[in-house]
């Protein structure tokens, strides 16, 4: 994809963030973007399936920002739990830059009609974080690690949207420490399922 096309998509997202931060996501967002001088042809060229394509792009954009930020950090000398913690905190720093937008976005993802996008986004998020942490597993561990991190991440999301950033780190520390003390993967998975916020239980079904 040409650089100019990437720039156009990013510009559309920047405008969308301002709208969504106030009004939330809806099928009307394209018409609202057009009123802000966004070309209709550009909207349907980049997001042919409508506003949900834009929603998915916004979620994937978090992963791209995370990759960019981590290029400046050498994690290789840290143990894996500290790598994961650093990656999680960087991810929340990104979310915190547009907290109102992501609050409206994640609330929208809780609608039953968005269940497929929610699960896809969560998987992509934890898969990216494990990849950036240097995980090369290909066996059963590949899936259990991602399920466990899903629980830690979603639990921290609940704290992030209801409290200050310092409590997010405390929550991540607490859950990573508790999970590390559980010897068996099945018991760890049960733990993260049981401790996921009630409104995020559907991610594990």
Report the range of poorest mean pLDDT among 75-84, 115-124, 176-185. 176-185
Report the range of poorest mean pLDDT among 89-103, 108-122, 144-158, 163-177. 144-158
Task: Give 32: exposed, middle or buried? Use CB within 10 Å, 0-12, 13-18, 19+.
Answer: middle
**10 band by pLDDT with thresholds 50, 70 and 90:** very high
**128 band by pLDDT with thresholds 50, 70 and 90:** very high
Q: What is the pLDDT, as a whole number, of residue 140? A: 66
- Rounded CA separation 164/152 (Å): 17
Domain annotation for the chain: domains and CATH numbers: 3-204 (1.10.357.10)
Q: Region 166-175: what's the mean pLDDT?
A: 94
Q: What is the pLDDT, as a whole number, of residue 98? A: 97
Q: What is the pLDDT, as a whole number, of residue 80? A: 86
Give residue-wise pLDDT tens across range 32-87: 999 999 999 999 999 999 999 999 999 999 999 999 999 888 888 888 889 999 99
CB neighbours of residue 106 within 10 Å: 20
The overall pTM is greater than 0.85: yes
- Rounded CA separation 100/86 (Å): 23
Alpha helix ranges (H) inside 71-203: 80-97, 99-109, 115-132, 140-162, 165-180, 185-195
**188 band by pLDDT with thresholds 50, 70 and 90:** low
Give residue-wise pLDDT tens across range 149-170: 988 999 999 999 999 999 999 9
């Amino acid at each position: 994809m040409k650089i100019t096309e990437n720039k156009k998509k990013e510009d559309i997202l920047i405008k969308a963030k301002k709208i969504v931060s106030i009004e939330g996501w809806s099928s009307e967002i394209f018409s609202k973007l057009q009123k802000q001088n966004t070309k209709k042809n550009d909207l349907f060229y980049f997001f042919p399936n409508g506003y949900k394509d834009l929603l998915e792009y916004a979620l994937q954009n978090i992963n791209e920002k995370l990759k960019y930020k981590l290029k400046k950090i050498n994690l290789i000398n840290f143990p894996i739990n500290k790598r994961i913690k650093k990656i999680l905190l960087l991810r929340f720093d990104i979310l915190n830059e547009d907290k109102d937008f992501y609050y409206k976005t994640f609330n929208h993802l809780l609608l039953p009609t968005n269940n497929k996008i929610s699960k896809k986004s969560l998987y992509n998020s934890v898969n990216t974080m494990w990849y950036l942490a240097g995980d090369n597993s290909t066996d059963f561990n590949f899936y259990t690690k991602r399920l466990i991190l899903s629980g830690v991440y979603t639990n921290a999301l609940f704290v992030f949207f209801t409290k200050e950033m310092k409590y997010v780190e405390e929550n991540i520390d607490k859950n990573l420490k508790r999970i590390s003390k559980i010897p068996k993967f099945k018991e760890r998975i049960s733990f993260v399922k049981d401790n996921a916020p009630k409104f995020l239980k559907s991610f594990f079904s």
